[in-house]
Amino acid sequence: MSQAEAALAPVGLTPREYDALLCISDRSDMSQLELSKALGLHAPRMVPLIDGLEVRALVERVVSSQDRRRNVLRLTDGGRALLESSNRVVADLQRKLFGEITDRERKRFQKLVERLAAMPCPDEAHQGDPD
């Protein structure tokens, strides 16, 4: 079990579920496809992830106000509350993992990692879900 899995287990989330909740909270009216791309997951893995969050009343699928043919994802009140408590858990873990690194250095490192993750992979076999 990874440190992230161990840290999030008491709040009842996996790292992937936490990432999904975080993405949905950062962007209102995110589609399932957009979330799939943001997380680098293929549809066969995305559907059960969202289904599980929906069954637990953390996320809801609603018809887009802009396009009735499109469903968007939104956090429920329970999802927002769980994300808030999970953010504290993740912040504690980051402090533990990064130790002497300042918040400024950690944020800079995180931006660099995000840039690397967003770069296209020259070999399509390496794109998408690493699992």
Beta bridge partners of 73: 30, 61
Lowest mean pLDDT across 44-48, 72-76, 123-127? 123-127
**In the Cβ-directed half-sphere of 87, how many Cα atoms lie within 13 Å?**
11
Nearest to 72 by CA among 37, 39, 38, 30: 30
pLDDT for 85 equals 94
Q: How far apart are CA 9 and CA 44, in angstroms?
A: 24
The set of residues, in sequence order, having a beta carbon less than 8 Å from that of 116 and lying 6+ positions away, is: none
- Please report the pLDDT score of residue 126 as a whole number: 47
Residues 54-76 pLDDT 10s: 999 999 999 888 888 888 999 99
- Report residue 18's pLDDT band, with 50, 70 and 90 as the boundaries: very high
- Cα 23 to chain centroid, rounded: 5
* Bridge partners (DSSP) listed for residue 71: 63
% pLDDT > 90, the chain: 43
Dist. CA 128–CA 124, nearest whole Å? 8
Q: How confident is the model at residue 25 (pLDDT cuts 50, 70, 90)?
A: very high
Average pLDDT, the chain: 86
Q: Is 73 exposed, middle or buried (0-12, 13-18, 19+ CB in 10 A)?
A: buried
CA distance 96 to 87: 14
Place of tokens 């549809």: 43
pLDDT value of residue 28: 77
**pLDDT, position 125:** 46
Residue 128 has pLDDT above 80, yes or no: no
